[in-house]
Amino acid sequence: MDHLDDIEQAIVTTVRDFVDREVRPTVRELEHANTYPEKLIEQMKQLGIFGLAIPEPHGGLQVSTPCYAMVTEELARGWMSLAGAMGGHTVVAKLLLTFGTEEQKQRYLPRMATGELRATMALTEPGGGSDLRAMRTTARADGDYYVVNGTKTWITNARRAGLVALLCKTDSKAQPAHRGISILLMEKVPGFTVSKDLPKLGYKGVESCELSFDDCRVPSTALLGGAEGQGFPQMMRGLEIGRIQVAARATGVARAAFDDAFQYAQQRESFGKPIWKHQSVGNYLATMATKLTAARQLLLHAAHRYDGGQRADLEAGMAKLFCSETAMEIALDAVRVHGGYGYSTEFDVERYFRDAPLMIVGEGTNEIQQDVIVRQLVSRGGLGYPVRRFANPA
């Protein structure tokens, strides 16, 4: 199972069984009603899923990033919203492990490992989108506290998260601007409100919210790592695992769409034969399978790179870009294979088609991913493959 050890293989298999037994039989009703999946989340806690990025000394069962990606893929195969519920949680855990003070790790990680404390990150603002350096949320130092003001939007799990990694400006005059950005580990304090839930095309059940901060007083010990001005590089490192997770979610959705289309094409008959035998439908299935296989390999390549301790901006960006675009293409092709039934809410393919676009615009839009990719290519001098040099004809 893609070079996983026996324990990790067992973890993936356990999650796969959970999805088939508990998620797939109930997801259609929950998703259409936009009901928060409280029971399923509790079962995920019991399975230890919220602690898969946290090492044993802090109460978790840390697995390799390929294993984590495959667990995410299995969850998304059942319902992408369940995989989304653990995405920001994992990023915050990685931020704490990499940059947090010992006191911050001891305070949060053991409760995060069990899912007792769920975490999320707050980056996006109503007027900023993917341009994190243009943010307006500020944290002004006031003695042993910071006073926080601003607004964040599209924050997953905001109503149920007890910890928010808030990206904000602690020095509005710093040049360049990213040097004035920090991360505050915020718990619910006076002035911190969830101002509204955002209506969505897909990604139902799990809420996406707008957060408002009105003169929130946060102790200075909440500053991640205890150093101001490090928030931008810290979050860029955190977003590497975040983008790998989104790529895994996209791969899970693509896999579910392909599986449904593949099964339907063998059962549905037209003109006296299963529809997969019609070349147009067969071509769809062949192309879908090829894209899905390529996406999965790119995902695992990024996961292995991340575990190697090297910067994985390029690989995570490529995986997020390709896997999300592939999920959208396969979801649409699954609708085509189902014909009119693909447009019916009685079949799951319409949900895949509504869920897939989130991975294209979330965790940094794909246009941003392309910018990240080309900048990393230039920085690294290309892909690192042997290049034949041609003489200048002049």
Length of the chain, please? 394
Q: Are residues 240 and 375 in the same domain?
A: yes
Q: Is residue 369 part of a domain?
A: yes
pLDDT at 394: 52
- Tens digits of per-residue pLDDT, 108-159? 999 999 999 999 999 999 987 667 667 899 999 999 999 999 999 999 999 9
**Nearest 5°: CA angle at 46, between 41 and 49?**
70
pLDDT at 176: 83
pLDDT at 172: 86
Residues 126 and 198: their CA atoms lie apart, in Å, by 12
CB 59 within 8 A of CB 106: no
Tell me what the mean pLDDT of segment 313-337 comes to.
Answer: 97
Residue 392 has pLDDT above 80, yes or no: no
Q: Is residue 27 part of a domain?
A: yes
Q: Are residues 20 and 100 in the same domain?
A: yes
Chosen domain end from 193, 209, 229 = 229
- Tens digits of per-residue pLDDT, 188-225? 999 999 999 999 999 999 999 999 999 999 999 999 99
Instruction: Name residue 64's beta-bridge partners.
Output: none
Tell me what the mean pLDDT of segment 35-64 comes to.
Answer: 97
Can you read off the two tokens belonging to residue 105?
């790790």
Residue 169 has pLDDT above 70, yes or no: yes
Q: What's the pLDDT band for 50 if we cut at 50, 70, 90?
A: very high
pLDDT at 178: 78
Q: Is residue 1 part of a domain?
A: no
Q: Are residues 274 and 347 in the same domain?
A: yes
Q: Are residues 114 and 127 in the same domain?
A: no
363 as an active site residue: the answer is: yes
Q: What's the pLDDT band for 310 if we cut at 50, 70, 90?
A: confident
Q: Is residue 390 part of a domain?
A: no
Residue 83 has pLDDT above 60, yes or no: yes
pLDDT at 47: 97
pLDDT at 393: 56
pLDDT at 175: 83
Residue 186 has pLDDT above 70, yes or no: yes
Q: Is residue 386 part of a domain?
A: no
**Going by DSSP bridges, is the β-strand pair 163-169/119-122 parallel, antiparallel, or unpaired?**
parallel
Report the percentage of the chain scoring pLDDT > 90: 90
Q: Is residue 134 part of a domain?
A: yes
Residue 388 has pLDDT above 60, yes or no: no
Question: Total domain count for the chain?
Answer: 3
Q: Are residues 317 and 374 in the same domain?
A: yes
CATH of the domain at 56: 1.10.540.10
Residue 389 has pLDDT above 90, yes or no: no
Q: Are residues 213 and 297 in the same domain?
A: no
CB 118 within 8 A of CB 160: yes
Tell me what the mean pLDDT of segment 3-12 comes to.
Answer: 94
Chosen domain end from 118, 137, 152 = 118
CATH of the domain at 296: 1.20.140.10
Q: Are residues 279 and 201 in the same domain?
A: no
Q: What's the pLDDT band for 307 if we cut at 50, 70, 90?
A: very high
Residue 80 has pLDDT above 80, yes or no: yes
CATH of the domain at 191: 2.40.110.10
Domain membership of residue 99 as a residue range? 6-118
Tell me what the mean pLDDT of segment 372-391 comes to.
Answer: 80
Residue 2 has pLDDT above 70, yes or no: no
Q: Are residues 245 and 358 in the same domain?
A: yes
In the set 73, 210, 228, 363, the catalytic residue is: 363
Q: Is residue 59 part of a domain?
A: yes
Chosen domain end from 118, 139, 174 = 118
Instruction: Name residue 196's beta-bridge partners.
Output: 210
pLDDT at 174: 85
Mean pLDDT of the chain: 94
Q: Are residues 176 and 295 in the same domain?
A: no
CB 31 within 8 A of CB 39: no
Q: Are residues 14 and 108 in the same domain?
A: yes
Q: Are residues 173 and 296 in the same domain?
A: no
Q: Are residues 145 and 100 in the same domain?
A: no
Q: Is the dihedral of CA 273, 279, 285, 286 positive or negative?
A: positive
Q: Is residue 300 part of a domain?
A: yes
pLDDT at 128: 73
